[in-house]
A = this chain, B = another copy of it.
Amino acid sequence: MRPVEFDVTYESRNTWARLGTLKTNHGVTQTPVFMPVGTQATVKATSPRELVEVGAHIILANTYHLYLRPGHRLVEESGGLHRFMAWNRSILTDSGGFQVFSLGDLRKITEEGVAFRSHLDGSKHFISPEVSMEIQMALGADIAMAFDECAPYPADYQYTKDSTLLTSRWARRCQAAHTREEQALFGIVQGGMYADLRKQSADDLVSLDFPGYGIGGLSVGEPKELMYELLEVTVPHLPKEKPRYLMGVGSPDCLIEGVSRGIDMFDCVLPTRIARHGTVFTRNGTMTIRNAAYSRDFIPIEPECECYTCQHFSRAYIRHLLNTGEILGVRLTTIHNLHFLLRLMEEIREHIAGDTLPEFRTTFLGQYYGGEI
């Protein structure tokens, strides 16, 4: 079997959404799917069994961070990332590109690759397409991502064009360097905010026949409407039979809008990050549970929610834990937020199957934005 098998099982009649199954050596994932982010080989504040309980079937880990600590060779020695972190479902690693480019003044890009200094200790490093493949093969996730340049926002046409072409050349080098048979390598479409460059990037990558395609360089500061437009000009150039992964996107509205435009996979630190700051998702919008308003509020975050948090604990208790710096507080908000998004994806899949996604979009977003935020 190929390392990843993707099957489209249903195509929506009234949107570009579709249902699918993504099979790896570590199980089957229903798509569209949201992947929680486990940057340093742990989805912050959670244990693997809690991830299973909230319904996660595939998670993401960050190549850049694991390369620095504990080092990809150590992870390989331990038996690979699945065994290291005791997660026996699917894993995708990013390429390290986005993190390295985010270092700003600490990095320098050449045709060969990117020289940079570690954000931890300033030590010098160099990642090229070949090095990124070496690291990701050692980590041993089910899916690796090609090493790309993520252009900043805003960026002018010429910069973006050069960057997009560089990403295409790097994609070819990644493909040549990637030799791990039990791991799939996805390409990444760039092209910044320019429709013609998005098309060119998609065409370049598709010609290399990757088993899946990331769409990178979006959700980098541009208006959401622009992101949706760029999805609409990009997705039609990607093959129907391959999974499409919108990278770094995970707010409830973007998930629904992305799915409606044909996206199958998402990842984002949003649910876990806001949880650590005491903000939780509800159907009526986000709730800042640290607020004094909740100090004597003895009902769950969402009384109907089936997550461990809402089945056992009150807003007042969670607020107390957050205010006193107790670890359980962040654990409980994280579980709720992940459950919320993964449950939302489940509902989205149900509504694709029933051809009711547009109605659900209207109802959900109306209720969500009528809320506190």
Bound-complex Cα distance A215 to B46 (A): 39
Say if the beta carbon of A296 comes within 8 Å of chain B.
yes
Take A86-B313, A295-B74, A314-B78 as given contacts and tell me if A69 and B327 are in contact as well, using a CB distance cutoff of 8 Å.
Answer: no
Contact, CB under 8 Å: A296 / B77:
yes
Bound-complex Cα distance A295 to B316 (A): 40
Contact, CB under 8 Å: B42 / A321:
yes
Please encode chain A, from 311 to 328, with 1 for each CB lying within 8 Å of some chain B CB and 0 for all others: 011101101110110111
Say if the beta carbon of A331 comes within 8 Å of chain B.
yes
Contact, CB under 8 Å: B74 / A324:
no
Say if the beta carbon of A286 comes within 8 Å of chain B.
no
Bound-complex Cα distance A42 to B325 (A): 11
Take A77-B298, A298-B77, A312-B48 as given contacts and tell me if A84 and B327 are in contact as well, using a CB distance cutoff of 8 Å.
Answer: no
Q: How large is the interface on A (under 10, 10 to 19, 20 to 34, 35 or more residues)?
A: 35 or more
Cβ < 8 Å to B, chain A residues 73-87: 74, 77-79, 84-86
A41 interface neighbour in B40, B296, B320, Cβ under 8 Å: B320
Bound-complex Cα distance A74 to B294 (A): 12
Give the Cβ gap from A140 to chain B, nearest Cβ, in Å: 15
Contact, CB under 8 Å: B327 / A74:
no
Contact residues in B for A15 (Cβ distance below 8 Å): none
Copies in the complex: 2
Give the Cβ gap from A343 to chain B, nearest Cβ, in Å: 20
Bound-complex Cα distance A313 to B41 (A): 12
Chain A residues in the interface with B (C-beta under 8 A): 40-42, 44-49, 65, 69-70, 74, 77-79, 84-86, 295-296, 298, 308, 312-314, 316-317, 319-321, 323-324, 326-328, 330-331
> Can you list 10 A-B contacts with CB-CB less than 8 angstroms, sorted by A residue number?
A40-B320, A45-B327, A47-B328, A70-B319, A74-B316, A78-B296, A78-B298, A84-B316, A86-B312, A86-B313
Q: Given A48-B312, A331-B331, 10 other A-B contacts at CB below 8 A?
A: A40-B320, A40-B321, A40-B324, A44-B326, A44-B328, A47-B328, A70-B320, A70-B323, A77-B296, A327-B327
